[in-house]
Amino acid sequence: MIVQVKKKIEIFLLSLILLLAFSMRLIHYDQFPVYGESQDEVAWTWLGSSLLKEGVPSAWSKFSAYEGFEYKSVSGFGSLVRPFLDHPPLFSFIPGFVHLATSEWSQIPSVRVIRFPMIFLGTFNVFLLFLVAKKMFPTEKFLALASSLLYATAPIFVFSSRLVLAENLLTAFLLFALLAIHMPSSKRRNIFILIISALAVLTKVSGVLIPLLCIGVGLSKKVKMWKPATAGLLVGVALFVLYGFVYNGKLFLQIQASQGRRAIGLATLYNRVILHPAIVDKFYFDGWLIIGLFSLFYISAIKHGEKIWPLALYILLNFLFISLTAGEQTFHGWYDFTIFPFLSIITMMTFFSIIRHKKYVLFCVLWLFILPQIRMMFIHADRLEMLSVPVLRGIVILGCVPFILSLFMKNTSLPKKFIVLLLGILFLSNIATVGVFQKEIYWISDAYFMAR
C-alpha cells in the first residue's frame, strides 16, 4: 500500500514537471532564440518540405561544390540549391510537414509554425530523461525527479530545445538508446538498438555517436549489444550514401569531402565550452553548463564514477567529434545539445553528494557559478536591474550559509535543509529568467564579451 502511494506521488510530481517543461518551452518560443540567428532552422525546413512536396531535396548551402546547382534566389538566404545533400533527411520531415500545412514549401517558414513541434519534442525528452535516470539509478531517491526538473527549467536547456535543429531529435534517440542499454538482453532489445542506431545516423552525421556508444558499452560489458549497434550503424550509413547517390553521387561525395576539410583542433572545444558558451552563436552563460562539466569530473572521481560511465563515454565521444569535425573558432551552440540531459543527471548527483556527505565548501564554489543566472533574472526584468548588484552581493553570502551553520551546529540537519532551500531558489530563478528574458539584452551581453 505504501509503495502504491509513493508511486502515485511520483507520477503526480512528474506530471507537474512535464507541465512546467511544456509551459517553459511554450512561452515566447517564437521570440527567443532569435529567428535567423541560425539559418539552419530554415534549411532543415526547406529540406523536408521540398522532399515531401516535390521529391527532390532543396535548401540553402554555402559549399562551393553547389555552383551550377542553384535553384532559386531567396532574399536573406542567398540561393536554394538542389539537390541539397549536406545532411541526412530524417529530421527535416518534422518541420517540413508543418511548414507545408501553412504555405508553399519555398517560402520563408513561419517561426511560430516550425518551432511548435519542438515544444512537444522537448517536453517528451524531459520524460525520457526521467525514465533513463530512474533506470540507471533505481536506488537514488528523488534523483530522477530532480534531474528532470533541472532539464525542464534551466534556461540554456529550455531555449535550446525550441530550435528547429536535428540535435533535438538526436537527443530523443540517445535517451532511447540509454533505455535500451539497460534493458535485459533479448532479441527485442537488439532489434530496438539496431533501429535506433540506424535512425540516429539518418538524422544527422553526428548521430553515429549513438551506435558508437552502444558498441562501446557492449564491448566493455562483454554483451552482444555491440552487434546490433554495428549493424544499425552500417545500415544508416548505407542508406544515407544510397540517398546521396540517388540524387547525385558525385556531388554527394564532394559535399561530404568539403565537410571533412574544415580546420580542426582543441581550440574548437575550448572556445565552445569555456570561452564562448552559446545557445546558437552569440554568447550565453547561465552557469549550468559549467557546473555540469565540473560535476562530470567530480562524479567520475568518486565511487559513483562507474555508474555514470555510459554518460561520460557519450560526452567524451561528443567532445571528440566536435574537436575533429567543427571548424576552429566555431561557436555553434547546438553541438552540445545532446549532452544536456546527461549534464542534468550528473549535476543533481553532485548536489545530492554535497548534501549527503556535507561538502559545504564545494557547494559555496558551485553557488558562485549560478550568480550570472540570477543576475540575468534581474537585468532582464523591467525596472529591477538596479537591484541586481546589492541583491547579488547578498546572494553570494547566502551560498556560504550552509558552511557557516555547519561550523556552529555540528549535530543538526539545518545546513542540509538550507542547501535544499537554496536549490529551490535556483529552480525558481530558472523559471523567472525564462519568463522575463529579452533578446535585446542578450545582444548587448554578446557584444560586451565579443569586444573583449
Lowest-pLDDT choice from 35-49, 61-75, 371-385: 371-385
Would you say how long the chain is, in residues?
Answer: 452
For the segment 203-213, the average pLDDT, to the nearest whole number, is 95
- Dump the DSSP string for 3-14: HHHHHHHHHHHH
Q: Is the pLDDT confidence value at 1 over 70?
A: no
State residue 329's pLDDT score: 60
Q: Each residue of 239-248: pLDDT tens digit?
A: 999 999 999 9
Comparison of pLDDT for 282 and 327, the residue scoring more:
282
Pairing of strands 59-60, 70-74: unpaired
State residue 163's pLDDT score: 96
Lowest-pLDDT choice from 174-188, 329-343, 388-402: 388-402
| CA angle, residues 11, 286, 328, in degrees to nearest 5 | 115
State residue 304's pLDDT score: 65
CB neighbours of residue 333 within 10 Å? 26
Among residues 350, 373, 346, 340, the alpha carbon closest in space to that of 419 is found at 350
The span from the CA of 400 to the CA of 396, in Å, is 7
State residue 186's pLDDT score: 85
Among residues 277, 450, 445, the alpha carbon closest in space to that of 375 is found at 445
Contact 91, 107 (CB under 8 A): no
Q: Each residue of 342-384: pLDDT tens digit?
A: 999 999 999 999 998 889 999 999 998 888 888 877 777 766 6
3-state class (DSSP) for residue 25: helix
Burial of 351 per CB tally in 10 Å (0-12, 13-18, 19+): buried
* Residues 6+ away with beta carbon under 8 Å from 312: 296, 300, 305
User: What is the DSSP code (8-state) at residue 295?
Assistant: H
Contact 290, 343 (CB under 8 A): no
Q: Each residue of 168-197: pLDDT tens digit?
A: 999 999 999 999 998 888 889 999 999 999
The mean of the pLDDT values for the chain is 87
State residue 191's pLDDT score: 94
State residue 256's pLDDT score: 86
* Residues 6+ away with beta carbon under 8 Å from 141: none
For the segment 13-33, the average pLDDT, to the nearest whole number, is 95
Residue type, 434: V
% of the chain residues with pLDDT over 90 = 50
State residue 450's pLDDT score: 64
* Residues 6+ away with beta carbon under 8 Å from 10: 145
Residue entry with cell 519534442: 121
Number of helices and strands (H, E) in the chain? 20, 3
Give the pLDDT band (50/70/90) at residue 116. Answer: very high
Give the pLDDT band (50/70/90) at residue 268. Answer: low
CA distances, 353 to each of 295, 296, 299, 303 (Å): 10, 13, 9, 11
* Residues 6+ away with beta carbon under 8 Å from 40: 164, 165, 334
- Dump the DSSP string for 370-428: HHHHHHHHHHHSTT-GGGHHHHHHHHHHHTTHHHHHHHH-TT-SHHHHHHHHHHHHHHH
- Dump the DSSP string for 323-381: HHHSPTT---GGGGGGGHHHHHHHHHHHHHHHHHHT-HHHHHHHHHHHHHHHHHHHHHS
Cell of 60: 540553402
Q: Is the pLDDT confidence value at 452 over 60?
A: no
Contact 185, 220 (CB under 8 A): no
